[in-house]
C-alpha cells in the first residue's frame, strides 16, 4: 500500500498510443523503476510470465492489450496511479473511459512510424476530456528512428505546439541516452536494466543543437509565462525552477506538448519521463471536474478535490471476477471508508461498501479508506459503467463517457443446449462491463445478435465465452449495421378508416417528410405544425410515436431509417371514432406512403483504413483496396514502407487481414476505424433490395 501523500503529490496518468508503440513495455519499466515489480517481463516472445499489466491469458497469447489495467506506484515522494490502455481501435472504449477519469496522460509514439491513425484517435479522446499530455517518442533503438520527424508530425497531423524537453544522444543502434534541455545535462542508463543513471556533460558534437533546441523551448513556453517570456526577450537564461514552472503552466493550458524520447525496451529514458510526470502533469486539484446538481435543474458544480467535502465518485469500469463484480472508481471529492453507506445517484439505491482495494494489475491490496484524487476499486457494489456515487448529502451526477456506436454484428448461439445458462451469464456480464458490446434478440430470425466495434472485438468476446464460461459457441456470418435514409422531400396525406360495426377507427394525418442536414445531431426530428385543432393536442404524441415506429424498419432492406424530419401540418379527426391507435396507424402508413416517393437510399458504414507495407508491394496493396470499393485518400512513404490511407465500405473488409498478409509476405499491417455513413452504389443497392424481398417472401411462405 502506498504511503498517504498530500494531494499535490498525486498523479493520475494514463499511457495511450497506437497499437504496438510500446505502451505495455513502458508500463512494465515504470513498475520496475518504482520497485513495484522486481523483474521485467516482456509482452511477446519466449517470456513465459508475460507483462504484468497484460494479465489476461488472451492478452499474453496475442501480445496485445485488451483491457485497461490499473496500478499504483511511488516515484521519489509522489504517488502515481497508472492506467495502461489498449491501442487497438476495437477496444477504444477502454481508452475512452480511462481518459474520462485521468488527470494527465503520456502519448507514446513510435520513433519510426511517428503519428499513426490510432494516435490521431487517442489524441482526439484526450482533447475531448481536456487531458494535458507529455509525448514520449519510444523505440529510439529501432532502425529508421527519427524523433525529429515524429515531433514534426505532432505539429502537422495533430496541430500540437510540440517542443522537445529532452534531446537524443545518437539514434538506432547508436542510441546512448538523452540530454535534459532544462538542466542541460546528459543522462546515460547503465546496468542490466538501465537502473544506474549516469549524469555527464553534454557531448560536444550535439551541444550546439541542444542550445538551439533549448532556446526554442524557452521561446515557446515564454508565451505562457510572463517572467520567462521577458527573460527570453532580454536574452537572459531562466533558472531550472523558473523554466520547469513555465513548462508546467504551458502543459496545463492544453496548448503545449513537451516531447521526450527514449527506448523502453532498451531501458533508456524512462526515469526522466517519470520525473517529467511529477514536474509537468497536473495533480487532482488542478483539473476542473464538473458535476450536475440533480436537485437544482442540473446546474453545473465545480467539484473541489477536498477529502472533507461530500463524497462524489464515478464508476468508470466494471470487471466481473472470481469474487463477484469489481467496480473501479475515481473519487472526485470527499472520503469513503470500508463499511460506509453510499448512494447511487442514478437510481437512489443504497449500497454498503464491504471492501475497498487498490489495484496492481490483477492483484488487490486492501485499504481502509480512499480520498479525493484516488483511483480505487470496490467489491460487492452493483452498478452500471458511468454511474455516480455520493454519500447522500448531495445529489450530483458526473457526465458519463462518450460511447461510439457499434458497426458490426454477429449471430451467436451456444453449441450445446446445456451451455445456455453459462452463455446467458457471459453475455450479461460482458454487456455490463463494456458499453460498446451490445446484445439483442432478432425477433424475426429468433437469433441472438452481438454487436461491437470490429471483427477482433467480437472474436475476443467469443473466445472469452469459451474460456471463462466453458461454453463453445456457433458464430454466424458478420452482419454490417446498414441504415436507410431519404434524399428528397415528399408529402403525405393518409386517412386511416376502419368500420367494423360499433366503434370504428378514424384518423387523418398530412404533412412533409424531408432529409435532415448532414451535420444534424439527431437521426429523427418531429415538428408539430398543427393549427386550429384539426388534430386534437392529445393525439399529437400518438402521431410522433407512429413515426418513431416507422423509422425503426426501412422499406428497402429492413434496417433503421436515419436523418429524417417529419412535419405534420394538417389532419382530421372524428368525435367518436378517433383514438390514439387510429392516429398512430395513420402516422405509420403516412410515413410509408411518403417514404416511397422520397428517394430512399441504403447507407453503409465507411471505414477509415490505414495500411502500411514494404514499398515493393504498393501496387498490389492499392489493387486490393480498389477491388474492395475503396477510395484512396492519401499515400506516402516512410522508411521503405508505403502508407496508404483510404475510405472503404465495412461490408467489403471481411477477410482483408488474410488477403493483405498473403499479398505482402506477412509484412503488411492495417488499422481501421469507423468514419461515416454514406450511400451504397445504385447497383449494390438494387441487389440488396432484391435479396431482402426474396427473404421476406420466403418467411411469409
pLDDT of the residue at 244: 95
Mean pLDDT on 254-278: 94
Structure confidence by residue, pLDDT tens digits, 355-398: 888 877 667 788 888 888 888 888 878 887 788 999 888 888 88
Q: What number of other Cβ atoms are within 10 A of residue 239's Cβ?
A: 12
Give yes or no for residue 687 having a pLDDT over 80.
yes
pLDDT of the residue at 476: 82
Query: Rounded to an integer, what distance in angstroms lies between the CA atom of residue 256 and that of residue 245?
Result: 13
Mean pLDDT on 337-366: 85
DSSP element (H, E) containing 412? strand 408-414
The grid coordinates of residue 430 equal 460482458
pLDDT of the residue at 2: 47
Contacts of 368 (CB under 8 A, 6+ apart): 337, 338, 356
Give yes or no for residue 623 having a pLDDT over 60.
yes
Query: Rounded to an integer, what distance in angstroms lies between the CA atom of residue 198 and that of residue 157?
Result: 36
pLDDT of the residue at 109: 93
Q: How far is CA 384 from CA 318, 462, 515, in A?
A: 8, 22, 36
Q: For the chain, give the mean pLDDT.
A: 86
Inter-axis angle of helices 204-222 and 240-252, nearest 10: 50
Structure confidence by residue, pLDDT tens digits, 504-556: 889 999 999 999 988 777 889 999 998 888 899 999 999 999 999 999 989 89
Give yes or no for residue 303 having a pLDDT over 60.
yes
Phi/psi for 493 (5° steps) reads -155, 95
Give yes or no for residue 188 having a pLDDT over 60.
yes
Contacts of 74 (CB under 8 A, 6+ apart): 2, 3, 34, 35, 80
Structure confidence by residue, pLDDT tens digits, 422-433: 999 889 888 888
Give yes or no for residue 119 having a pLDDT over 90.
no
User: Which has the higher per-residue pLDDT, 220 or 405?
Assistant: 220
Query: Rounded to an integer, what distance in angstroms lies between the CA atom of residue 102 and that of residue 107?
Result: 13
Own/partner contacts of 126-131, CB < 8 Å, gap of 24 or more, are: 126/16, 126/99, 127/254, 128/99, 128/402, 129/99, 129/100, 129/102, 130/254, 130/287, 130/288, 131/14, 131/99, 131/102, 131/103, 131/104, 131/105
Mean pLDDT on 433-460: 82
315-329, 456-470, 537-551: which has the minimum mean pLDDT? Answer: 315-329
6-20, 214-228, 256-270: which has the minimum mean pLDDT? Answer: 6-20
Place of cell 439483442: 440
Helices (H) and strands (E) in the chain, counts: 16, 38
Mean pLDDT on 326-351: 88
49-53, 101-105, 570-574, 602-606: which has the minimum mean pLDDT? Answer: 49-53
Sorting pLDDT into bands at 50, 70 and 90, what band is 78?
very high
pTM over 0.75, yes/no: no
Give yes or no for residue 320 having a pLDDT over 80.
no
User: Which has the higher per-residue pLDDT, 446 or 504?
Assistant: 504
Sorting pLDDT into bands at 50, 70 and 90, what band is 53?
low
Sorting pLDDT into bands at 50, 70 and 90, what band is 87?
low
Query: Rounded to an integer, what distance in angstroms lies between the CA atom of residue 29 and that of residue 22?
Result: 11
Taking alpha carbons only, the member of 258, 250, 252 closest to residue 225 is: 250
Edge-to-edge strands, sheet with 299-303: 299-303, 289-293, 396-398
Sorting pLDDT into bands at 50, 70 and 90, what band is 269?
very high
Query: Rounded to an integer, what distance in angstroms lies between the CA atom of residue 351 and that of residue 174?
Result: 58
pLDDT of the residue at 386: 81
Place of cell 451490445: 438
pLDDT of the residue at 586: 94
Give yes or no for residue 162 having a pLDDT over 60.
yes
132-136, 347-351, 583-587, 646-650: which has the minimum mean pLDDT? Answer: 347-351
Query: Rounded to an integer, what distance in angstroms lies between the CA atom of residue 634 and that of residue 644?
Result: 6
Percent of the chain with pLDDT over 90: 40
Give yes or no for residue 48 having a pLDDT over 50.
no
Give yes or no for residue 222 having a pLDDT over 90.
yes
pLDDT of the residue at 323: 64
pLDDT of the residue at 578: 87
pLDDT of the residue at 63: 64
Sorting pLDDT into bands at 50, 70 and 90, what band is 59?
low
Amino acid at each position: 500500500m502506498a504511503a498517504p501523500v498530500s494531494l499535490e503529490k498525486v498523479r493520475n496518468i494514463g499511457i495511450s498510443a497506437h497499437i504496438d508503440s510500446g505502451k505495455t513495455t513502458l508500463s512494465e519499466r515504470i513498475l520496475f523503476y518504482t520497485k513495484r515489480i522486481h523483474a521485467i517481463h516482456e509482452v511477446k516472445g519466449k517470456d513465459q510470465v508475460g507483462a504484468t499489466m497484460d494479465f489476461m491469458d488472451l492478452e499474453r497469447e496475442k501480445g496485445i492489450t485488451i483491457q485497461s489495467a490499473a496500478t499504483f506506484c511511488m516515484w521519489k515522494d509522489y504517488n502515481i496511479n497508472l492506467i495502461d490502455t489498449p491501442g487497438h481501435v476495437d477496444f477504444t472504449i477502454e481508452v475512452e473511459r480511462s481518459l474520462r477519469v485521468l488527470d494527465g496522460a503520456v502519448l507514446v509514439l513510435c520513433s519510426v512510424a511517428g503519428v499513426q491513425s490510432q494516435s490521431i484517435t487517442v489524441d482526439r479522446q484526450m482533447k475531448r476530456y481536456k487531458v494535458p499530455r507529455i509525448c514520449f517518442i519510444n523505440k529510439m533503438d529501432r532502425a529508421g528512428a527519427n524523433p525529429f520527424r515524429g515531433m514534426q508530425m505532432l505539429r502537422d497531423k495533430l496541430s500540437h505546439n510540440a517542443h522537445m524537453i529532452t534531446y537524443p544522444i545518437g539514434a538506432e543502434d547508436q542510441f546512448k541516452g538523452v540530454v535534459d534541455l532544462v538542466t542541460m545535462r546528459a543522462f546515460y542508463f547503465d546496468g542490466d536494466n538501465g537502473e544506474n543513471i549516469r549524469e555527464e556533460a553534454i557531448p560536444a558534437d550535439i551541444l550546439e543543437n541542444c542550445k538551439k533546441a533549448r532556446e526554442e523551448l524557452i521561446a515557446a513556453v515564454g508565451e505562457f509565462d510572463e517572467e520567462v517570456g521577458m527573460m527570453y526577450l532580454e536574452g537572459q537564461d531562466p533558472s531550472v525552477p523558473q523554466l520547469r514552472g513555465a513548462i508546467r503552466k504551458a502543459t496545463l493550458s492544453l496548448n503545449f506538448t513537451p516531447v521526450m524520447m527514449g527506448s523502453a525496451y532498451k531501458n533508456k529514458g524512462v526515469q526522466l519521463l517519470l520525473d517529467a510526470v511529477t514536474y509537468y502533469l497536473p495533480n487532482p486539484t488542478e483539473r476542473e471536474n464538473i458535476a450536475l446538481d440533480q436537485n437544482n435543474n442540473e446546474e453545473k458544480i465545480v467539484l473541489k478535490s477536498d477529502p472533507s467535502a461530500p463524497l462524489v465518485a464515478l464508476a468508470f469500469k466494471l470487471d466481473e471476477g472470481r469474487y463477484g463484480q469489481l467496480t473501479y472508481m475515481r473519487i472526485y471529492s470527499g472520503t469513503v471508508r470500508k463499511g460506509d453507506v453510499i448512494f447511487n445517484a442514478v437510481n437512489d439505491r443504497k449500497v454498503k461498501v464491504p471492501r475497498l482495494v487498490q489495484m496492481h494489475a490483477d492483484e488487490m491490496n486492501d485499504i481502509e479508506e480512499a480520498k479525493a484524487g484516488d483511483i480505487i476499486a470496490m467489491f460487492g457494489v452493483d452498478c452500471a459503467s458511468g454511474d455516480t456515487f455520493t454519500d447522500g448529502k448531495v445529489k450530483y451526477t458526473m457526465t458519463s463517457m462518450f460511447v461510439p456506436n457499434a458497426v458490426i454484428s454477429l449471430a451467436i448461439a451456444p453449441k450445446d443446449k446445456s451451455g445456455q445458462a453459462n452463455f446467458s451469464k457471459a453475455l450479461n456480464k460482458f454487456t455490463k462491463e463494456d458499453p460498446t458490446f451490445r446484445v439483442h434478440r432478432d425477433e424475426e430470425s429468433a437469433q441472438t445478435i452481438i454487436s461491437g466495434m470490429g471483427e477482433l472485438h467480437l472474436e475476443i468476446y467469443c473466445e472469452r465465452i469459451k474460456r471463462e464460461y466453458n461454453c463453445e459457441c456457433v458464430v454466424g456470418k458478420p452482419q454490417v449495421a446498414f441504415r436507410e435514409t431519404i434524399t428528397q422531400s415528399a408529402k403525405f396525406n393518409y386517412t386511416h378508416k376502419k368500420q367494423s360495426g360499433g366503434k370504428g377507427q378514424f384518423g387523418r394525418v398530412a404533412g412533409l417528410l424531408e432529409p435532415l442536414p448532414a451535420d444534424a445531431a439527431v437521426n429523427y426530428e418531429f415538428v408539430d405544425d398543427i393549427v386550429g385543432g384539426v388534430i386534437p393536442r392529445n393525439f399529437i404524441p400518438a402521431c410522433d410515436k407512429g413515426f418513431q415506429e416507422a423509422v425503426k424498419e426501412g422499406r428497402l432492406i429492413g434496417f433503421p431509417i436515419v436523418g429524417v424530419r417529419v412535419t405534420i401540418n394538417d389532419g382530421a379527426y372524428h368525435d367518436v371514432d378517433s383514438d390514439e391507435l387510429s392516429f398512430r396507424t395513420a402516422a405509420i402508413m403516412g410515413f410509408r406512403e411518403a417514404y416511397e416517393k422520397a428517394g430512399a437510399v441504403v447507407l453503409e458504414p465507411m471505414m477509415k483504413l490505414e495500411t502500411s507495407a514494404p514499398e515493393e508491394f504498393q501496387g498490389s496493396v492499392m489493387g486490393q483496396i480498389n477491388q474492395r470499393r475503396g477510395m484512396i485518400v492519401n499515400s506516402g512513404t516512410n522508411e521503405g514502407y508505403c502508407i496508404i490511407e483510404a475510405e472503404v465500405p465495412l461490408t467489403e473488409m471481411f477477410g482483408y487481414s488474410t488477403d493483405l498478409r498473403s499479398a505482402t509476405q506477412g509484412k503488411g499491417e492495417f488499422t481501421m476505424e469507423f468514419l461515416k455513413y454514406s450511400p451504397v452504389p445504385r447497383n449494390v443497392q438494387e441487389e440488396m433490395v432484391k435479396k431482402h424481398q426474396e427473404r421476406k417472401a420466403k418467411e411469409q411462405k
